[in-house]
Amino acid sequence: MKKRTSLWIMVLSALIIFRCGTEDDERYIAPQQPYVDLAQDTELYDYLDCQGFDLTDAKLYDEHVLVEGDLYIRLDVIRKKIEEGKQDISAGRTSQFVVNTGSVVDFNNVLNIDYFIDNSVGPIPGDWEGAIDAATQDWEDISSCRVSFNEVATAGAADIIFYADNDTALPACARNLGGAYAAAEFPADGQPGSWISINDADPSATQGNRETVIRHEIGHTLGFRHDDPINGNDELVNYTSTTTPPACGNDVLGANKLVGTPTSDGSSIMIPVFGTSTTIDFSSNDEEASIYLYPAGYSAPVISSLTQYYASPTTKDVKVTMSYQSVRMYRYRVERLPPWSSTPVQTNEYTTTGSTFWLYDVPHGTWDFRITSLNYARDATMPGIKKQVTIQ
């Protein structure tokens, strides 16, 4: 995330650069780490533009692309996704934006995420170790969310490593963050992003701000994108296009709407820019989104009623009404099976927040019906008990 810089600081900086620049321009033009403007790689640029990223100042490094100030995406992941031409356009969009189902962390990998605080973090003026401990605890405290953390003593045992941005163990692109508080890597291969880089200049003015920064960066490592990435990117067009394939090509990393969260949430932990004294806690939508991706305890859905409606002389439309206990899952799959079979012959999947689902044109006869609840990535499922009905 980026720091909101006062205008006078920017003016002062400009003056300093201008004055020094008269002596040796090259010194001030050369970047601290080798990168090129992302626009030089048309394929990558167009692709990420289609994903809705704000590519202002986007940079292409040896192994990463930096977008939106603090978000590093592994180059091999993007290239692979482009190759696969993978589509996931079924999901819509909202303020709680997440990457595609295949790019989030595997359900089984969010329990006891091992993290290590590198020695480089200690010398940063603010209490960042305290902020890391608090923020990881805050993630654990989201009710009904499976995400939990475990601090380990060695980097080799860690899933996520926290570094100061001066540490040479970081990828070159993640060092010397400049105007950002911190930066993080997206998930890859079903694992959380492997590093979080913290600005050793400690731009934060309060401990609450440092904790906010870490809560936000952990969100990135778990697959959360920035709040409201629509701005200026025509992303809305890309993601609501009814043409097949959508006008802007395939959706790979994704900026997917989670049904049930609003179209705008300015109080989300994932807003990209905030002041140095700002503290942000998880909004209710952040919490709901976290449960949708990584649910903890959840119960089997129960079919409360099956109602038949005339469809044709030989078929009926069947309305299936469900009840669930306490935690709503992100998806519900309704199935029709031959009696005592485990193989469905008809399936519909819903992400609505309602409790009524349909199977259309069900042939006359005796059938089992079943509802299964699933999380966003469909790697956590809970089938309900089958209910047998004769359609006639």
Positions in the binding site for Zn ion (CB under 5 A): 1, 70
Cα separation, 321 vs 354, in Å, equals: 9
C-beta of 71: minimal distance to Zn ion in Å? Answer: 5
CB closer to Zn ion out of 1 and 303:
1
Contact 332, 295 (CB under 8 A): no
C-beta of 175: minimal distance to Zn ion in Å? Answer: 17
CB closer to Zn ion out of 70 and 265:
70
To which H or E segment does residue 273 belong?
A: strand 273-274
C-beta of 123: minimal distance to Zn ion in Å? Answer: 24
Contact 70, 181 (CB under 8 A): yes
> Which phi and psi (to 5°) does residue 55 adopt?
-95, 15
CB closer to Zn ion out of 70 and 288:
70
CB closer to Zn ion out of 219 and 295:
219
Write a three-state SS string for 161-213.
Answer: EEEECCCCCCCHHHCCCCCECEEEECCECCECCCEEEECCCCCCCCHHHHHHH
C-beta of 274: minimal distance to Zn ion in Å? Answer: 10
C-beta of 70: minimal distance to Zn ion in Å? Answer: 4
Cα separation, 50 vs 235, in Å, equals: 7
C-beta of 12: minimal distance to Zn ion in Å? Answer: 26
- Cβ-closest position to Zn ion: 1
Structure tokens belonging to residue 252? 């790979």
CB closer to Zn ion out of 185 and 287:
185
CB closer to Zn ion out of 1 and 362:
1
Cα separation, 300 vs 373, in Å, equals: 7
Cα separation, 91 vs 223, in Å, equals: 15
Please count the residues of the chain. Answer: 392
